Structure formats: C-alpha cells, structure tokens
Amino acid sequence: MSLLKEVLEKNKLYINERKGEGRKIDSHAKKKALIFTCMDTRLVNLVEESMGFRQGDVKVLKNAGNSIRTACDDVIRSISLGTIMMGLEEVFVVGHKDCGMAKQDLEKIKEAMLYRGISEEIINSIDLEEWTGIISDEKENIIEVVNKIEKSPFIPLDVKVHGLSIDPYSGELEVIVDGNA
C-alpha cells in the first residue's frame, strides 16, 4: 500500500472520530506566539506539548536546523507577517540537542545530491554550505537566529524573541536567550 493511500485511510478514521465535536479553532494563535523550530521527527508534537501549548495556541514554523540562512528570507517573512497581520507578540526559537544539521558533511551532501539526480552544474552554482544551512553548534545557532530576528527591519521592535534548547528525548527545555531580559 502506498503511503498516500495509508494517509487517506487514516484520515477517514480521524474524521469519523471527530464528527459532532464542533471543533472551531481560530486561525490566529490564542497565545499570540510563534515557535520556530527544527523539522526533526523527534520534535513532532514534543515542542508544543513540552511548552504547555495545545492546538490553536501558537503558530509553528519549521525548517532543517531551525536556521536562518543569508539571502533566504522565508523565515523572517513568515515571522514578520505573523507579528504584523496576526498580532503575534513573542517568538520562541527552539533548537535542540543532537541536531542532524550539526552533523552533516558537505561532500556527503553533494554526493547524495548527485546520486539523486541534481546536476553538478546546479550544485556548483550555489554556496552549498550556505544553501544547506549546516550549523556548527546548536546553542550558537539559537543565539544567531534570535539576533537575526531581533535585528530584522521587518520585525516590530516590541516583539519578544526567546531562544530555547530542547532535549529531543525528555522534552526538557533550557533557556539560551531570555527575550524578557
């Protein structure tokens, strides 16, 4: 069975279980906050639950390594629109221990890209290190991302930006940057 078919079958069960619940959740975050975190599978639901948030409480934005790369403004654009158009007041940058983006090797990435059919011409046309967003240290990445958000001219000055690290197994949070300070 294909994964798509499996997903659609699970969706039918899910919809049937929810019938009659009358679940109306606003598209705006109740807590006026956004979490920017990594796409690591260990963090699915873990980040929100460990922080005490439920569906509808916060916006969640994810990418590989929860990094903001130079000349790639999608993260800033999303945070900016959330703060300006949806009234978000706080941003939680949540990195994690044992991040795969801190373990990557550029040559292995290039080899894998070539193997998967990405042309060498395309690979050589970019700064591969910048494009991938490989990080050298999870805590330093959190600090760097907080600084980029705070210094962006597209983010209102009254937005609080916090930096946290989460253990992907226990869910324990460590404050790296306190945006209230």
CA distances from 94 to 11, 30, 162, 168, 171 (A): 29, 19, 8, 11, 11
Strand 58-63 and strand 90-96: the pairing is unpaired
Q: In this predicted model, what pLDDT tens digit does every residue of 38-50 receive, in sequence order?
A: 999 999 999 999 9
Task: Give the global pTM.
Answer: 0.90
Quote the crossing angle between the two packed helices 74-86 and 138-151, to the nearest 10°. Answer: 50
pLDDT number for residue 164: 98
List the chain residues with pLDDT less than 70.
22-23
Structure tokens at 52: 């005490």
3-state secondary structure of 173: strand
